[in-house]
Amino acid sequence: MAEYDAVVVGAGLLGLSTAYHIKKTNPQEKILVVDKMGAAGQGNTAKSAAMFRSFFYSHTNLALVDTTIEFFKHVQKDLGADLKLKWVGYLWLFNDEDYRWAEPVLTVMAERGLEYRVYNAHELSEKLKLRTNVTKDEDSKLMGLADVEAGILIPKAGSIDIDSLVNFYESEFRRLGGEVRYNTKVESIVVEPREPLGTPGEPYFWQEAGASGIKTNRGVIKAKRTIVAAGAWTASLLDSVGVDAHIKPVKRQLFSVRAETNELKKLLWAKGFNSEGCVPFTILPKPRVYLKPALEENSFWFSYGDEFPRAFRLEDEPQPEENYYQYGIYQVAVKYFPQFAGSRPFTSWAGLYAMNTLDGQPVIFEEHDLLVVGGTSGSGNMKADAIGRIAASLYAGEKYAVLYGDKKFRVSDLSINQRKVEPEKLII
Binding residues for ligand FAD (CB under 6 A):
9-15, 34-37, 42-45, 47-52, 185-186, 229-233, 237, 252, 254, 351-354, 374, 376, 378-382
**Considering beta carbons, is residue 43 or 151 the nearer one to ligand FAD?**
43
Distance of alpha carbon 117 from alpha carbon 89, whole angstroms: 11
CB 252 within 8 Å of CB 263: no
Closest approach, Cβ 18 to ligand FAD, in A, equals: 9
Distance of alpha carbon 193 from alpha carbon 197, whole angstroms: 8
**Considering beta carbons, is residue 140 or 376 the nearer one to ligand FAD?**
376
**Considering beta carbons, is residue 231 or 328 the nearer one to ligand FAD?**
231
Distance of alpha carbon 64 from alpha carbon 381, whole angstroms: 10
Closest approach, Cβ 267 to ligand FAD, in A, equals: 20
Closest approach, Cβ 228 to ligand FAD, in A, equals: 9
Distance of alpha carbon 80 from alpha carbon 77, whole angstroms: 6
DSSP string, 233-251: GHHHHHGGGT----EEEEE
**Considering beta carbons, is residue 147 or 170 the nearer one to ligand FAD?**
170
- 111 CB neighbour count, 10 Å cutoff: 8
Closest approach, Cβ 275 to ligand FAD, in A, equals: 20
Distances (CA, A) of 390 to 22, 25, 180, 338, 395: 10, 12, 21, 45, 9
**Considering beta carbons, is residue 42 or 171 the nearer one to ligand FAD?**
42
Q: Which pairs count as long-range contacts for 137-141, CB under 8 Å and 24+ apart, including other chains?
A: 137/335, 139/331, 139/335, 140/335
Closest approach, Cβ 302 to ligand FAD, in A, equals: 11
User: In 3D, which of 321, 259, 229, 203 has the Cα closest to residue 16?
Assistant: 229
**Considering beta carbons, is residue 68 or 140 the nearer one to ligand FAD?**
68
Closest approach, Cβ 51 to ligand FAD, in A, equals: 4
Closest approach, Cβ 287 to ligand FAD, in A, equals: 17
Closest approach, Cβ 103 to ligand FAD, in A, equals: 26
List all residues 6 or more positions away from 50 whose beta carbon is below 8 Å from its beta carbon: 159, 160, 161, 162, 381
Closest approach, Cβ 71 to ligand FAD, in A, equals: 14
DSSP string, 362-408: -EEEEETTEEEEE--TT-SGGGHHHHHHHHHHHHTT-SEEEETTTEE
User: Quick one: residue 247, left, alpha or beta (phi over 0 = left, psi -120 to 50 = alpha)?
Assistant: beta
**Considering beta carbons, is residue 43 or 285 the nearer one to ligand FAD?**
43
**Considering beta carbons, is residue 149 or 172 the nearer one to ligand FAD?**
172
**Considering beta carbons, is residue 151 or 378 the nearer one to ligand FAD?**
378
User: In 3D, which of 380, 416, 387, 374 has the Cα closest to residue 22?
Assistant: 387
